[in-house]
Amino acid sequence: MIGVCVVFTVYIAVIPLGFLLWQSFRTPQTADVPAIFTLENYIAAYGTADTLRLFWTSIRFAFGASVFAFTLGTVLAWMNERTNTPFKSVFYALSLIPLVIPSILFTVSWILLASPQIGIINLVLQGWLGLETAPFDIYSLGGMIWVDGLHYSPMAFLLMTAAFRAMDPSLEESATMSGANIFQVAWRVTLRLTWPAVVATILILFVRAIESFEVPALLGLPVGIEVFTSAIYQAVHRYPSRVGLASAYAVALLLITTIGVYSVSRLSSRGSKYATMTGKGFRPRQIDLGPWRWFTAAIFIVYFALIVLLPFAVLLWSSFQRFYAVPSMEALQNLTLDPYRFVFSYPNLGRTVWNSVLLSFGSATIVMLVTSVICWIVVKTKIRGRWILDNIASLPIVFPGLVLGLSIMVFYLNVDIGVYGTIWIMYIAYITRFMPYGLRYNTTSMLQIHQELEESAAMSGASWGTTFRRIILPLLKPGLLAGWIYVMIVSIRELSTSILLYSPDTQVISIVIWELWENGQYVELSALGVLFILALFVLVMVAQLIGRQYGVKEQRA
């Protein structure tokens, strides 16, 4: 059993990486010319000034999006944790909603809101202010940063909330007593003390932004702004496809993310330097903002409008149109259910939904079971070299979704064991991609199971298998369930890995949305998107309800 898990992990996490590297040194294989060793891909990828531009754009985009998301998330977290802004407990719950909305839908809805031609915000502002040209252009680097940063600000919000909560409030109170005002306390004490968390959060956001595919593809490609992910996609999707070139790009991207992830892990292992100096501090005092608290409440409301209400409203609007039209009295008369009819009569709808459900449930289950064994080996046994296993299983975290898709594609194109083009290749991709998350959930709960609980089972005569099944798994259950829910949700939204691996038979919902976008079927896309978001929302609610019954605590990867 242990052996099987180890082999499985190594197979799934290491081999694609090897093949990616290998492929990046090969020429394209055709029917009569076999592939040979070459450096040409690298020369093509890195030999031109274009690459420098690509690199520079990627960095600017990722940096901008991460800093924007961080600033937004931190200000909100601070307001939520440290001030007496009204309704903030409601806000904490609401802030999680945007994480449920798939990136592609969020991006599409912002196109509908702020594109220069049809963007509602632009048209409204032009009407009000009598402007000649649209004030906002979503198809720009700034637009990309805005959409991506906005969408991932809740992640910064959650991470920084945790950091603020972990801090001894008397450190801030003593600054107040020293005569410092709100801003001096926030700047000179709060922010400095959460510095390790600040850097880690920005790095995580940066890595995530540089992996981001939907936003650069939808907003950047139409106007020729390319980043690594969209360049990889372009290289694969041109004819003839240049997998070697894509691989060479992917290697660079992989390098960046690896450095990022490595720095984060270094940082969090060192981050405890300040943690030793906390007192009993159990009552974070809330700063009384006086009348300003209505202002901060207004910020919350505007933020919520930008991130949930407006995007959803515009999708909803467009989903009741025959052809996309900007809201107006006239358009109001043309409301129709056609897009929904279209969605429900979509030839492969049943199949697609079924694929999505099967994939997300299946990979969540396998991920959680396999990682629980890995985790047990790493945390509980004394097997030598077990840390290698831990690192291998965490390896996929550095893979951007698109790169992972690419390497798996390359591997199974070359090693024909009959999974290419089937749903199994999607399974493999999802499991690989989400294994690190499962691992993290399991490690957290595994660390809390005391060694003696197992030993006493062994003393009672239980075999290893029985102990694992009867003692460890039940104790892990809350953690397993929380992780399962998380993996299920991220898999059902998954797009960037699937996009290189799907075939007509193995389409999933997010792929259909992508295709509708490519075909310009905006209203149909909106209808499907609305249904998808609602379904995801219900799913999360149900999952939380079930989770609460099984004692799942608030926990995040």
Partner 1 sequence: MLNVAGLFTEYPNPQGEVVKAAQDVTFTVEEGHLFTLLGPSGCGKTTTLRSIAGLERPKAGEISVNGRVVYSSAKGVFIAPNRRGFGMVFQSYAIWPHMNVFQNTAFPLEVGDRHFSRTQIRDNVMRVLAAVQLDHLADREATMLSGGQQQRLALARALVMEPALLLLDEPLSNLDAKLREKMRFELKRLQRELKITTVYVTHDQSEALALSHQIAVMNEGRIQQIGKPRDVYERPANRFVADFVGNTNFIEGTLHAIGPGFHLTVRTEIGDIKISTDLPVSAGDRVTMSVRPEDVALSDTRPQGENVWEGRVEQKVFLGEAIDFRVTVGPRELLSRQHPALRTPVGGPIFVQLDPEKCVLLKVV
Q: Is the Cβ of residue 96 or residue 180 nearer to partner 1 in the bound state?
A: 180
Exposed, middle or buried by CB within 10 Å (0-12, 13-18, 19+), for 137? middle
Among 137, 173, 338, 515, binds partner 1 (CB under 8 A): 173
Q: According to the binding rule CB under 8 A, does residue 281 interact with partner 1? A: yes
Among 125, 175, 221, 379, binds partner 1 (CB under 8 A): 175
> What amino acid occupies position 100?
V
Q: According to the binding rule CB under 8 A, does residue 278 interact with partner 1? A: yes
Q: Is the Cβ of residue 280 or residue 384 nearer to partner 1 in the bound state?
A: 280
Question: Chain-centre distance of CA 99, in angstroms?
Answer: 8
What's the closest the beta carbon of residue 168 comes to partner 1, in angstroms?
6
What's the closest the beta carbon of residue 444 comes to partner 1, in angstroms?
25
C-alpha to C-alpha distance for 197 and 194, rounded to whole angstroms = 5
Q: According to the binding rule CB under 8 A, does residue 342 interact with partner 1? A: no
Question: Chain-centre distance of CA 373, in angstroms?
Answer: 25
What's the closest the beta carbon of residue 182 comes to partner 1, in angstroms?
8
Task: Write the CB contacts of 506 (distance below 8 Å, at least 6 apart in sequence).
Answer: 355, 421, 422, 423, 425, 426
Among 30, 33, 240, 273, binds partner 1 (CB under 8 A): 273
57, two tokens = 């754009």
Nearest to 98 by CA among 159, 160, 162, 157: 157
Buried b (16+ CB within 10 A) or exposed e, 474-490: ebbebbbbbbbbbbbbb
Q: According to the binding rule CB under 8 A, does residue 33 interact with partner 1? A: no
What's the closest the beta carbon of residue 174 comes to partner 1, in angstroms?
4
Q: According to the binding rule CB under 8 A, does residue 322 interact with partner 1? A: no
Among 33, 129, 177, 545, binds partner 1 (CB under 8 A): 177
Among 53, 165, 188, 548, binds partner 1 (CB under 8 A): 188
C-alpha to C-alpha distance for 407 and 234, rounded to whole angstroms = 15
Q: According to the binding rule CB under 8 A, does residue 180 interact with partner 1? A: yes
Q: Any bridge partners for residue 287, and if so which?
A: 83
| Interacting span for partner 1 (CB under 8 A) from 28-36, 185-193, 325-333, 500-508 | 185-193
Among 279, 385, 465, 520, binds partner 1 (CB under 8 A): 279
What is the DSSP track for 91-154?
Answer: HHHHTTGGGGS-HHHHHHHHHHHH-TTT-HHHHHHHHHHT-SS-S--SSSHHHHHHHHHHHHHH
Please answer whether residues 109 and 323 qualify as being in contact, where contact means their C-beta atoms are separated by less than 8 angstroms.
no
Residue ranges in 191-220 that form contacts with partner 1 under rule CB under 8 A: 192-193, 195
Q: According to the binding rule CB under 8 A, does residue 257 interact with partner 1? A: no
Among 3, 34, 130, 179, binds partner 1 (CB under 8 A): 179
Q: According to the binding rule CB under 8 A, does residue 274 interact with partner 1? A: yes
Among 27, 38, 126, 176, binds partner 1 (CB under 8 A): 176
Nearest to 419 by CA among 10, 4, 15: 15
Nearest to 363 by CA among 434, 412, 299, 312: 434
| Interacting span for partner 1 (CB under 8 A) from 182-190, 223-231, 234-242, 420-428 | 182-190
| Interacting span for partner 1 (CB under 8 A) from 45-53, 273-281, 458-466, 493-501 | 273-281
Q: Which contacts qualify for 83-90: CB closer than 8 Å, 24 or more apart?
A: 83/286, 83/287, 83/288, 83/289, 83/293, 83/296, 84/286, 84/287, 84/288, 84/289, 84/293, 85/289, 85/293, 85/296, 85/297, 85/300, 86/293, 86/294, 86/297, 87/297, 87/300, 88/300
| Interacting span for partner 1 (CB under 8 A) from 29-37, 85-93, 165-173, 214-222 | 165-173
Buried b (16+ CB within 10 A) or exposed e, 204-231: bbbbbbbbbbbbbbbbbbeeebbbbbbb
Convert residues 97-126 into a mask of x (bound to partner 1 by CB under 8 A) and - (unbound): ------------------------------
Site size toward partner 1, by CB under 8 A: 28
The answer to whether the bond into 240 is cis (omega within 30° of 0) is yes
Q: Any bridge partners for residue 26, and if so which?
A: 37
Q: Is the Cβ of residue 63 or residue 274 nearer to partner 1 in the bound state?
A: 274
Q: According to the binding rule CB under 8 A, does residue 277 interact with partner 1? A: yes
Q: According to the binding rule CB under 8 A, does residue 181 interact with partner 1? A: yes
Q: According to the binding rule CB under 8 A, does residue 189 interact with partner 1? A: yes
Q: Is the Cβ of residue 21 or residue 191 nearer to partner 1 in the bound state?
A: 191
Q: Is the Cβ of residue 1 or residue 277 nearer to partner 1 in the bound state?
A: 277
C-alpha to C-alpha distance for 250 and 221, rounded to whole angstroms = 18
What's the closest the beta carbon of residue 191 comes to partner 1, in angstroms?
10
Q: Is the Cβ of residue 181 or residue 451 nearer to partner 1 in the bound state?
A: 181
Please answer whether residues 509 and 492 qualify as being in contact, where contact means their C-beta atoms are separated by less than 8 angstroms.
yes
Q: Any bridge partners for residue 37, and if so which?
A: 26
Q: Is the Cβ of residue 273 or residue 382 nearer to partner 1 in the bound state?
A: 273
Q: According to the binding rule CB under 8 A, does residue 71 interact with partner 1? A: no
Q: Is the Cβ of residue 280 or residue 382 nearer to partner 1 in the bound state?
A: 280
Q: According to the binding rule CB under 8 A, does residue 292 interact with partner 1? A: no
The contact set with partner 1 (CB under 8 A) reads 168, 170-171, 173-181, 184, 188-189, 192-193, 195, 273-274, 276-281, 285, 288
